[in-house]
Copies of this chain bind each other. A is one copy, B any other.
Amino acid sequence: MAIETSASSIISFQTDPSRYAHWKLSLEGPIARLTMAVQEDKPLKPDYQLKLNSYDLGVDIELADAVQRLRFEHPEVRCVVVTSSRDRVFCAGANIHMLATSSHGFKVNFCKFTNETRLSMEDASRCSGQKYLAALNGTCAGGGYELALACDEIILIDDGNSAVSLPETPLLGVLPGTGGLTRLVDKRKVRRDLADLFCTVAEGVRGARAREWRLVDQVVPKSRFEEEILRRAKEMAATSPAPSGEGIALTPLNKRVEADRVAYDQVTLELDRQARRAILILHGPRAGGPSDAASIRGLGASWWPLQAFRELDDALCHLRVNEDTIGLVLVKTEGSVQDALALDETLERLQDDWFVREVRWLIARTLRRMDLTARSFFALIEPGSCFAGSLFELALAADRSYMLDDPERPCEVALSSLNGGAYPMSHGLTRLQARFLGEPETAAKLAGAPRSYDPAQALAAGLVTVVADDIDYEDEVRVACEERISLSPDALTGMEANLRFPGSEGCDSKIFSRLSAWQNWIFQRPNAVGDKGALTLYGKPERPSFDPRRT
**Interface residues of A, Cβ cutoff 8 Å to B:** 104-105, 108-109, 168-170, 172-175, 181-182, 184-186, 188-197, 199-200, 214, 276, 324-327, 374-375, 398-401, 434-439, 462, 465-466, 483-484, 487-505, 510, 513-515, 517-522, 524-525, 527-528, 534, 544, 546-551
Whether the pair B465, A197 counts as a contact (CB closer than 8 A) is yes
Which residue of chain B is the closest to A198 with respect to CB atoms? B499
> Are A200 and B325 also in contact (CB < 8 A) when A495-B175, A551-B520 are?
no
> Are A196 and B399 also in contact (CB < 8 A) when A487-B170, A490-B527, A495-B181 are?
yes
Q: How far in angstroms is the closest Cβ of chain B from A200? A: 6
Whether the pair B327, A437 counts as a contact (CB closer than 8 A) is no
The 7 closest A-B pairs by CB, nearest first: A189-B438, A173-B488, A517-B517, A185-B502, A494-B518, A505-B505, A513-B514
Whether the pair B491, A400 counts as a contact (CB closer than 8 A) is no
Whether the pair B514, A497 counts as a contact (CB closer than 8 A) is yes
> Are A551 and B108 also in contact (CB < 8 A) when A186-B503, A527-B491 are?
yes
Whether the pair B169, A491 counts as a contact (CB closer than 8 A) is yes
> Are A438 and B374 also in contact (CB < 8 A) when A174-B491, A325-B550, A487-B169 are?
no
A186 vs B200: C-alpha distance when bound (angstroms): 35
Whether the pair B518, A498 counts as a contact (CB closer than 8 A) is yes
9 contacts between A and B (CB under 8 A): A105-B550, A193-B399, A488-B546, A489-B551, A491-B534, A505-B505, A513-B513, A514-B517, A520-B521
Interface centre among A327, A462, A492, A496 (most CB of B within 10 A): A492
A272 vs B108: C-alpha distance when bound (angstroms): 37
Whether the pair B522, A491 counts as a contact (CB closer than 8 A) is yes
The quantity of this chain's copies bound in the complex is 2
Which residue of chain B is the closest to A485 with respect to CB atoms? B548
> Are A528 and B175 also in contact (CB < 8 A) when A194-B465, A483-B200 are?
no
A85 vs B259: C-alpha distance when bound (angstroms): 60
Which residues of B lie under 8 Å from residue A168 when comparing CB positions? 491
Whether the pair A181, B465 counts as a contact (CB closer than 8 A) is no
Which residue of chain B is the closest to A175 with respect to CB atoms? B494
Whether the pair A550, B200 counts as a contact (CB closer than 8 A) is no
Which residues of B lie under 8 Å from residue A172 when comparing CB positions? 491
Residue in B169, B437, B519 whose CB lies within 8 Å of A488: B169
Which residue of chain B is the closest to A548 with respect to CB atoms? B325
A549 vs B235: C-alpha distance when bound (angstroms): 48
Which residues of B lie under 8 Å from residue A399 when comparing CB positions? 192-193, 196
A244 vs B415: C-alpha distance when bound (angstroms): 55
Interface centre among A175, A435, A510, A521 (most CB of B within 10 A): A521
Which residues of B lie under 8 Å from residue A173 when comparing CB positions? 487-488, 490-491
Which residue of chain B is the closest to A188 with respect to CB atoms? B438
New contact pairs (15) apart from A324-B550, A521-B524, CB-CB < 8 Å: A169-B491, A169-B495, A170-B483, A173-B491, A190-B438, A191-B435, A192-B434, A193-B401, A196-B496, A197-B400, A200-B487, A324-B549, A489-B547, A505-B513, A524-B525
Whether the pair B169, A492 counts as a contact (CB closer than 8 A) is yes
Whether the pair A527, B374 counts as a contact (CB closer than 8 A) is no
